A and B are shown apart, each in its own frame.
Chain A
Amino acid sequence: MTAGAVDADATTAGPRGRPELFQVRFHGRGGQGVVTAAELLSVAAFLQGRFAQAFPSFGSERAGAPVVAFCRISAGEIRTHAPVAEPDAVVVQDATLLHQVDLFNGLGPEGYLLVNTTHSFDEMGLGGLVDRLHEERLVTVPATDLALKHFGRPVPNVVLLGGLAALCGVVSLDSVVAAVHDRFTGAVADGNAAAATEAYRLVSAKAKTANEEVAARA
């Protein structure tokens, strides 16, 4: 994938003048495209002129086994090759991992959380998270349903990237769609792009509602 235009915000600096890092951790199961999700997010960021680094958690790959992958995004060169210990965002591709894997380890109070589920956080027994994190930064999206609807396969990875773009804006939906077309072709690419777009709209609407509720209470 070749770089497009460089973003205007590529000069964003973090504390002490070093470029700020945005770090995402993906949880899912073997076969759900967890590693591909991290890679495509890095390609989307690259297309916006950012530096990005994606890598899996290097386990023995087996269908159905818990899988973790990471993506770092920055305006500057990324030198570290350590795993992400304190993610800014966590994406959960498979909600059945909720009570098996420590999904929220290192996720700070400013963190974002996107879960693929048709249930609410209360229904999943995660009501406590609402107190620990910003309410408007916790979103669920029925990514598997959207995947089945748009391309007939229960693979939620790209769909959730659309949701993530809406939730935290670290990449644009256009870049996600471009990254999808870079990796896939034909109906798979079109279906994934359409599902990601629908997820983007759903999450944008949810985030807007949550923001308004927070504002109304304030």
Chain B
Amino acid sequence: MLSQLEGSRAVAAAVACCRPQVVCAYPITPQTHIVEGIGAMVKSRQLKHCRFINVESEFAAMSVAIGASATGARAYTATASQGLLFMIEAVYNAAGLGLPVVMTLANRAIGAPINIWNDHSDAMAVRDSGWVMLFAEDNQTAADLHVQAFRLAEEMSLPVMVCVDGYVLTHATERVDVPTQEQVDAFLPPYKPRQVLDPADPVSIGAMVGPEAFTEVRYLAHAKQLQALERIDEVAREFAEGFGRHSGGLVSTYRVEDAEVVVIALGSVLGTIKDATDELRDQGARVGVVGITSFRPFPLDALHEAIGDARKVVVVERAFSAGFGGVLSTDVGLAISDAKARLSTVVAGLGGRAVTEAGLISVVEDALADRLEVLRFLDLDKDVVDRELARMAGTRRSGPSAENVLRDLGTVASRAL
């Protein structure tokens, strides 16, 4: 049903249509509205046969989800930022055990310095946890990906994380065609667990595995990710047949035919990149966009095809690896087989800094003119950085850098704009 509603509410409605049987909730901004919305539906009996469990921490949220999933229940939770870090041991366990938990990650920066705003540092911190990781470009995709996530997770016996940009999507009120119960019921069959804790047919789950078999058990996790790589586009096609719209898939492309520059990104910044691309195309620049929906498994072949003959590849990243540079770019680099294509990393939108159309246009113009560095921090105030470096060089007890930088800027209260 076509509705105008907040992203969090759209996700809550889509998850509820998937008939989760256990929802574990621990509040952390910016995901809180999602579990609040589901909680309200459980209380009003709109969502039946669902246990809504208020847990004492994020570690408990994932642990309870693991327990519920192991007994054959469809389990869901949501978190963000420090909450994801606090549950990280259990995050790895859910994947290692092959339990199809679905989790929304309302992407938010990781401290210190503490920051409640949007970037992808949290998702990148669990890149290697073994979860399937899907990124939503807008709230329609966010809602639809959750429906596909349960289907994929349960088919593969793998947990799936749906990454939705915190605030930028979770708190944005937009037009969303909310999946209906009938559509979801036709698309998502009841969960048939591959393994289940059942007193009538006892098994143990979670054996200790020594060197004699650890590599093989871990390789099986990789093999399942490779199977997911095959299934993600198929599931998106089946979704399109049932719901009448395309959502999901491994990658999406926009105006890439004949493109000299291809800009690659994850999540909500893609919309702004597409607007910038239209502007640049009007000026005659040959620019295209590739959105990566499936970050894990990573779609090397699909990406290679999407990049095509582009001579310049610009990866716009909402996170970075200190001491190295881009995270996503490293993966994208493997999809560029032609050594003549130049890869640049643009780190942008950290901790809620706005990524503007003008900023993106300047990046592409610089790429076209061969002025774009291998690594650029978009809109970095180098003077502020240099002044703090000078303070550090000038005196041993220069004090905490975050406080020094805020004082330098004359910031009274934190502002996201």
Contact = CB atoms under 8 A, between A and B. Distances in A.
A33 interface: no
Given A16-B282, A79-B138, A57 B416 contact: yes
Contacts of B355: 82
B352 A52 contact: no
B310 interface: no
B335 to A, nearest CB: 25
Contacts of B171: 55-56, 58
Contacts of A55: 167-168, 171-173
A131 to B, nearest CB: 27
B174 A18 contact: no
B6 A79 contact: no
A83 B354 contact: yes
A128 interface: no
A52 B6 CA distance: 12
A196 to B, nearest CB: 18
A105 B174 CA distance: 25
Interface string A11-33: 00000101000000000000000
A81 B175 contact: no
Interface in B360-417: 413-417
A60 B172 contact: no
B356 A85 contact: yes
Contacts of B413: 59, 65
A87 B62 CA distance: 43
A18 B282 CA distance: 11
A79 B173 contact: no
B416 A51 contact: no
A3 interface: yes
A70 to B, nearest CB: 9
Contacts of B175: 46, 51-52
Contact of A80 (B173, B282, B352, B357): B357
Contacts of A52: 4, 173-175
B278 interface: yes
A52 B282 CA distance: 24
A38 B269 CA distance: 21
A93 interface: no
B357 A39 contact: no
A5 B173 CA distance: 20
Contact of A81 (B2, B5, B269): B269
B271 A58 contact: no
B4 A46 contact: yes
Given A1-B4, A2-B1, A46-B4, A82 B357 contact: yes
A78 interface: yes
A68 interface: yes
Nearest to A45: B4
B174 A78 contact: yes
B274 A79 contact: yes
Given A16-B282, A58-B117, A82 B3 contact: no
Given A39-B6, A58-B416, A79 B271 contact: yes
Nearest to B173: A54
Contacts of B347: none
A185 to B, nearest CB: 16
Interface of A: 1-3, 16, 18, 38-39, 42-43, 46-47, 51-60, 65, 68, 78-83, 85
A-B pairs with lowest CB-CB distance, top 4: A79-B271, A46-B4, A54-B173, A55-B172
13 contacts: A1-B3, A16-B278, A16-B282, A38-B173, A47-B4, A52-B175, A54-B172, A57-B417, A59-B414, A65-B413, A79-B271, A81-B272, A82-B272
